[in-house]
A and B are shown apart, each in its own frame.
With several copies, the nearest count.
Chain A
Amino acid sequence: APQPPAAKTPAAPLSGLSGMKMAAVLSGPVNDAGWNANAYQALTEARDKYGLEIAYTEYVKVEDAAQVMRDYADAGFQIIMAHGNEYSDQISEVAREYPDLHFIQTNGSEAGIPNLYTVGFAIGEGGYLMGWLACKISQTGKVAFIIGEQYPAVQYQAQMVGQACADLGLQAKVLETYVGSWTDPTKTKELTKAALEQGVDVIILMADSGDSGAIEAVREAYAAGSTSLRIISWVKDKNHLAPEFVLGGWTEDVSREIDATLQLIAAGEPGGHFAFGLAEGVVYPNPMYGLVPAEVESEFNQLLQDYLQDPSIFPNLVVRRDL
């Protein structure tokens, strides 16, 4: 199985971070088992790794964010993070007010403020590689991408899924389907059932807390004899939820995203917009747990190696760093 590539170690010493205070502005609770939980995990990992002192505020409405960040700035925090695109204006404003402090925004796009690091994931690699895998292992020639809601980045990933299949000359049909909610496992289950009725046998699953519903639907069909069904999980490796058919899939690793950003800061790199991809080890494929034919797995690994050496081997894989 492929191991996620190790993050590149930066040249500059990291000692500068030790003892610094870092605070985060979050839109929801840290136990949402998703978006904010990831941020929370990133914070605690950074604390353990660099000896940071950390703090966070949950349920911050956009219009209050500036004030919350100012409060942290005034309380002596040197690194202030806003988790989410919605805080763009607020963090830009406060970053200008406190030029000596460092500001991090996930999913941001602002590039012109020297102490503001807007960071995101490179979009496209995941869709392309997982699309390749899905179409390759599908026996029925039908693959479904089950998504919570329609966002630009997600749509682009879906586009890349289809692109990969087409590029490989695979005749698989890719269904792009939306639950209409990130928090509705019941409906996700029904959507999955409907997809299975259509003969779909591989599902790329990106429905957040709806994921459990899709897994449940496949579990039932699997128990009824459809043992060739596979789910490719997304955002995190969810193999442990159903080891018999859930592949590790694709990870977008917030902890590594933050870590990479902290390293930029420690290295004295000026702010700007950064999108981390496969090369930086921030997004990566997970193990397949023997759920795909061995030859497919080794072909995948080979392609991955080749791509890391020379991205031009996939001319139609256009990585976007602006979404």
Chain B
Amino acid sequence: MLNDLLSIFASPEFYQAVLRMATPLLLAAMGGLVAERAGLVTFSMEGMMLMGAVGGVIGSHLTGSVWGGLLLAVIFGMLAGLTYAVMAVSIGAHQIVTCVALNMGAMGLTSVLFGLVFGGGSGAVVQDVIQVASLSPWKIPLLGEIPILGPIFFNHIPLVYLAFLTVPAVWFLLYRTTWGLKIRAVGEHPHAADALGISVVRVRYLTLLFAGAFAGLAGAFLSIGVLNTWQENMTSGRGFIAYTAIVFGKWQPLGVLLGALLFGLADALQLRVQTMNIAIPYQAMVAFPYVVTLLALILFSGKASWPAASGQAFKREGK
């Protein structure tokens, strides 16, 4: 049994799978992180991803090109972000409940949209499995040839590279640009930010559009990256895991990367242990990612590290 386990860790395909499984989490979490730092609870990423997933398929179908799919995924994700922004930022609704409503709404809406486009009309049930153009791997010219490391790191579809590149990019955005400073100011202290001439509303709208765009890409990764079709509720909880990765990573880009990789690893390992018929009860394996989450919560909790204004509506006073 130990040998079997070791053989898993010795295979490059395993690490490839880890990266692949971490990618949608990472894309969504990096987008979400930016909005979180502006004081928004991004528990809505599940719904935003789902919108992206259906957008990817529809776009790919309508334009016949996978790039069209990515574009529509981003647009759909941003529309979801916009909806959130209208509810939570402009109207000042309770953020968690808005997220819940958004996730539920997205489940219904994506079904209807899919039916509209592929079923030839409203409410129609799609009779067939729809197949559309999907992304293929880009082998990076020289790096891809390196023995072992090449296949693990440099032979993926472009969204995988993008996901990992967002980590330094978001770090840079948050800590090295004036936009990042504004975002952090809004997340920590919206009233002070307002007094400093920062438009809290604009910053929150923009970060939600950003989060929506990346959640959209994460959804597209599932629908036209890994697959070339769409399934009802195909995100199956990855948005929640992405959210957990943000918390796990204590709202720091590197931490979030670590979280996404950990969840990717837990999942990849879990599947492999099952196929090797290793005598670990399946319940234990399936529960593994949640155990990791709970452990992370226990180990890394301590002083609340989340943005001080997290979840708070901002309203300037007076009439």
A-B complex is real: yes
Chain B residues 236-287 with CB under 8 Å of chain A are: 236, 238, 267-268, 270-272, 274-277, 282-283, 286
The CA-CA distance from A187 to B283 in the complex, in Å, is 15
**A63-B20, A184-B234, A189-B227 in contact; A323/B127 too (CB < 8 A)?**
yes
Say whether B13 contacts A241, CB under 8 Å: no
> Is B301 positioned at the interface, with any CB of A under 8 Å from its CB?
no
Neighbour of A109 across the interface among B129, B267, B282, CB < 8 A: B129
The CA-CA distance from A309 to B232 in the complex, in Å, is 40
Minimum C-beta distance from A218 to chain B (A): 12
Neighbour of B226 across the interface among A57, A189, A191, CB < 8 A: A189
Say whether A183 contacts B21, CB under 8 Å: no
Say whether A58 contacts B275, CB under 8 Å: no
Say whether A31 contacts B126, CB under 8 Å: yes
Say whether B234 contacts A68, CB under 8 Å: no
Minimum C-beta distance from B284 to chain A (A): 11
Number of interface residues of A (CB under 8 A): 63
Instruction: Note all chain A residues with C-beta closer than 8 A to B123.
Output: 31
Instruction: Note all chain A residues with C-beta closer than 8 A to B233.
Output: 183
Say whether A213 contacts B282, CB under 8 Å: no
Neighbour of B125 across the interface among A37, A62, A190, CB < 8 A: A37
Extra 18 A-B pairs, beta carbons < 8 Å, given A33-B127, A186-B226, A322-B127: A31-B119, A32-B232, A57-B271, A60-B271, A64-B17, A68-B275, A175-B275, A177-B271, A177-B275, A181-B236, A185-B226, A186-B227, A194-B275, A197-B13, A198-B275, A200-B275, A209-B231, A210-B231
Minimum C-beta distance from B102 to chain A (A): 18
B interface residue numbers (CB < 8 A to A): 11, 13, 17, 20-21, 24, 111, 115, 119, 123-129, 131, 222, 226-229, 231-234, 236, 238, 267-268, 270-272, 274-277, 282-283, 286
Instruction: Note all chain B residues with C-beta closer than 8 A to A198.
Output: 275-276
Chain A residues 139-158 with CB under 8 Å of chain B are: 144, 150-152, 155
Say whether B275 contacts A180, CB under 8 Å: no
**A32-B232, A62-B234, A194-B275 in contact; A40/B17 too (CB < 8 A)?**
no
Neighbour of A62 across the interface among B11, B231, B274, CB < 8 A: B231
Say whether B227 contacts A68, CB under 8 Å: no
The CA-CA distance from A215 to B11 in the complex, in Å, is 23
Interface centre among A63, A210, A216 (most CB of B within 10 A): A63
Neighbour of A57 across the interface among B119, B129, B274, B283, CB < 8 A: B274
The CA-CA distance from A191 to B279 in the complex, in Å, is 17
Output the nearest chain B residue to A72 by Cβ-Cβ distance: B275
The CA-CA distance from A187 to B271 in the complex, in Å, is 9
Output the nearest chain B residue to A242 by Cβ-Cβ distance: B131
Instruction: Note all chain B residues with C-beta closer than 8 A to A71.
Output: 272, 275-276
Neighbour of A216 across the interface among B227, B274, B275, CB < 8 A: B227
Chain A residues 198-255 with CB under 8 Å of chain B are: 198, 200, 209-213, 216, 238, 240-241
Say whether B267 contacts A190, CB under 8 Å: yes
The stretch from A81-89, A128-136, A264-272, A292-300 touching chain B is A81-89
Output the nearest chain A residue to B24 by Cβ-Cβ distance: A186
> Is A101 positioned at the interface, with any CB of B under 8 Å from its CB?
no
> Is A102 positioned at the interface, with any CB of B under 8 Å from its CB?
no
Per-residue contact bits, chain A 20-34, to B (CB 8 Å; 1 contact, 0 not): 000100000111110
Per-residue contact bits, chain A 65-100, to B (CB 8 Å; 1 contact, 0 not): 001100110010000000001101100000000000
Say whether B234 contacts A31, CB under 8 Å: no
> Is A193 positioned at the interface, with any CB of B under 8 Å from its CB?
yes
Say whether B274 contacts A183, CB under 8 Å: no
Say whether B20 contacts A190, CB under 8 Å: yes
Say whether B271 contacts A151, CB under 8 Å: no
The CA-CA distance from A140 to B275 in the complex, in Å, is 15
> Is A59 positioned at the interface, with any CB of B under 8 Å from its CB?
yes
Instruction: Note all chain A residues with C-beta closer than 8 A to B286.
Output: 29, 58-59, 178, 180
> Is A61 positioned at the interface, with any CB of B under 8 Å from its CB?
yes
Neighbour of A178 across the interface among B20, B229, B236, B274, CB < 8 A: B274
Instruction: Note all chain B residues with C-beta closer than 8 A to A216.
Output: 226-229
Say whether B226 contacts A63, CB under 8 Å: yes
